[in-house]
Amino acid sequence: MLETVLRTPDERFANLPGYPFEPHYLHVDGVRMHYVDEGLRNGQPVLLLHGEPSWSYLYRKMIPVFGAAGLRAIAPDLIGFGRSDKLTNPLDYTYQRHVDWTHAFISALDLQDVTLVCQDWGGFIGLRVAAEDQARFARIVAANTFLPTGDHPPGEGFFGWQRYTQEVPVFDAGAIRATADDRNRPATRRGGGLRGAVPRGTVRSRRPPVPASGANHTGRPSV
């Protein structure tokens, strides 16, 4: 049974640089899932699945390119991320549940002949979905991801990140992304701090909503 659901206030997403897209929503298994839907409505769909700790903003520069090419770009926020609902009970987040939510999302939109673009956890989830519903998918682009088979360990880096996400008192996704972005910039362009690497609004939008009790919650995919 799902526990309390939180939603990040809309003002956190106002005036984000490079992200002018109208929000779209549908409900999967009792929770609201947000997605970007741009380009030709009858165009071949390109399904863009983000990883952790990100959301559909990850694909902001790719979405207009797909639309200009006559395709339909669809970028959902996984449950617990972006504009999608956040469940406050960590036990509500499982690998299987993310797969099921994604299956339900694709079925609700009745997507066919899909090109799947998946990154990080988007690959863990999306590749499973594509394998289980092959008739809907035409091609796959996998970036910085893999499909766990369960017959060998994924590596200490994976387990280290898993421990961090589950044990850190406050999961500041904006600061984490800013640090990663800063490392990937040339030295002469680095911001010199956690919040210097990306626009202030981008960092703000990734902060989790804070309930009245003062506790901090955020969606954390668990295995």
Q: What is the mean predicted confidence (pLDDT) over 22-45?
A: 97
This prediction's pTM: 0.79
**CATH code at 1-147:** 3.40.50.1820
Rounded Cα–Cα distance for residues 31 and 88 (Å): 12
pLDDT over 60 (residue 212): no
Q: How far is CA 94 from the centre of its chain?
A: 15
pLDDT band, very low/low/confident/very high, at 195 (cuts 50, 70, 90): very low
Would you tell me the crossing angle of helices 95-109 and 121-132 to the nearest 10 degrees? Answer: 60
Summarize pLDDT for 136-153 with one digit per residue, the tens: 999 999 999 988 788 888
Rounded Cα–Cα distance for residues 187 and 35 (Å): 34
pLDDT over 60 (residue 215): no
**pLDDT for position 146:** 86
At 186, the amino acid letter reads P
Rounded Cα–Cα distance for residues 37 and 57 (Å): 13
